[in-house]
Homo-oligomer: A and B are copies of this chain.
């Protein structure tokens, strides 16, 4: 903590980069000693984002104790920074009354996120306990599809008619009571409330009072329909470097705005999802109970068992050959494993390129050709390495030749399958990140075992 104090001395408001591990330990010790005052004193100065991290780091039963110790000093905004699983548990622990009190204090988009986690019954109970205006706003939000722009947006926006000048806009902002907490752009709307332009606040501040607002608008206006998928919305922010985007209804009228902080959260979630899927995990399960973690991971393992059995069936066809030359059993996992790894490399690049839209129908054939070339070069190298390895190990030229050729064949199959499988899955409208891996290893195992044992059966007997 001494270091933190030194930092705090340097600038009046302190420098914080995330949560301090030492602090977490101090809180845990204070909890062990049941010293609620110390817990509160340690946690109160934390930013809600850091407090959320702290709650996630400690065991589940300590979470409610920390919130209890903080009492009135607990910032409800902390909830919007929590992982879904942890948040759901905590909301349940609060009970229906606590949950409605919480929802009332949060902004619409954060409240919606919490409600969306709950069962229909719990949702209905909480909604019923809210005053009419809040209830209506939330029900309208819940009517948009999950993961849509409508769910992400905040309803409070600043919109002005296009005949206004800068002075009028500034006077309006100074007088208006219910401005959004954070906003970066002012939207120009036509008489039907359709956005026709977006003006960054910096453009207003650098212009004289009599400048017409329409002169300050950006060259391009990006609007998103309320039903647009959040991944598309995030793509828009990243592609064009936006900080806010107006959300419109089916008749193009302004409904609200999505701001960059929400878009950043979506990017983070989507990146996490893609990463986990590549490793055969469906969602973040760090905070899940062991039983639920097991249940969620099981389907992938069962599918993998199936593909492993398919590969073993290929081996079973060549039992006779293996019984005579046991070296085949020793070398065959190498052929399969090399194919699997080379294929995974290609697959990884392909899945990522599809996700960020850098691989499309336009360049797919060219990239397939490239991967084939890469595999051919890899194959040429490993046919040599494999040959010498096998000669050195088993002192059998024919076996070594068969091993090298099998490696080449499997590397070629791996390269082509690594790009073709995700492309086909993507074309079918499915998510290539989820299932490509299973198909790929099935291909590389089956081709690997079949090529090696088949060639051995043909040439060595």
Cα distance, A358 to B222, chains bound together (Å):
35
Tell me whether A286 and B239 are in contact in the complex, defined as CB-CB below 8 angstroms, given that A206-B179, A278-B275 are known contacts.
Answer: no
Across the interface, which residues of B come within 8 angstroms of A265, CB to CB? Answer: 238
We find that the number of chain A residues with CB closer than 8 angstroms to chain B is 139
Say whether A104 faces chain B, with CB atoms less than 8 Å apart: no
- Taken together, the copies of this chain in the complex come to 2
* Interface 1/0 per residue, A349-390 and B, CB below 8 Å: 100110011111111001100100110011001100100010
Contact A195 B338 (CB under 8 A): no
With beta carbons under 8 angstroms apart, the residue of B319, B337, B374 that contacts A290 is B374
Across the interface, which residues of B come within 8 angstroms of A232, CB to CB? Answer: 17
Cα distance, A221 to B14, chains bound together (Å):
7
Beyond A238-B268, A280-B341, 8 additional pairs, beta carbon < 8 A: A17-B239, A18-B236, A19-B357, A57-B363, A243-B260, A272-B356, A301-B342, A319-B329
Tell me whether A308 and B338 are in contact in the complex, defined as CB-CB below 8 angstroms, given that A280-B344, A286-B367, A374-B294 are known contacts.
Answer: yes
Contact A329 B322 (CB under 8 A): yes
Interface segment, one of A48-56, A124-132, A134-142: A48-56
Contact B281 A261 (CB under 8 A): no
Contact B240 A47 (CB under 8 A): yes
Interface segment, one of A35-43, A111-119, A197-205: A197-205
14 A-B pairs (CB sep. < 8 Å): A14-B221, A25-B362, A173-B206, A174-B207, A179-B202, A184-B202, A275-B275, A275-B348, A278-B348, A286-B353, A301-B378, A307-B337, A316-B330, A333-B336
* Interface 1/0 per residue, A248-264 and B, CB below 8 Å: 00001000000011001
Do most interface residues of chain A lie in helix, strand or loop, or is the interface mixed? helix
Chain B residue with Cβ nearest A279: B348
Contact A297 B374 (CB under 8 A): yes
Across the interface, which residues of B come within 8 angstroms of A21, CB to CB? Answer: 360-362
Nearest CB in chain B: distance from A227 CB, A: 13
Contact A272 B235 (CB under 8 A): no
Cα distance, A311 to B194, chains bound together (Å):
66
* Interface 1/0 per residue, A296-329 and B, CB below 8 Å: 0110110011011101100110010011001111
Contact A293 B362 (CB under 8 A): no
Across the interface, which residues of B come within 8 angstroms of A260, CB to CB? Answer: 243, 260, 264
Say whether A90 faces chain B, with CB atoms less than 8 Å apart: no
Nearest CB in chain B: distance from A316 CB, A: 5
With beta carbons under 8 angstroms apart, the residue of B176, B179, B264, B341 that contacts A264 is B264
Contact B309 A334 (CB under 8 A): yes
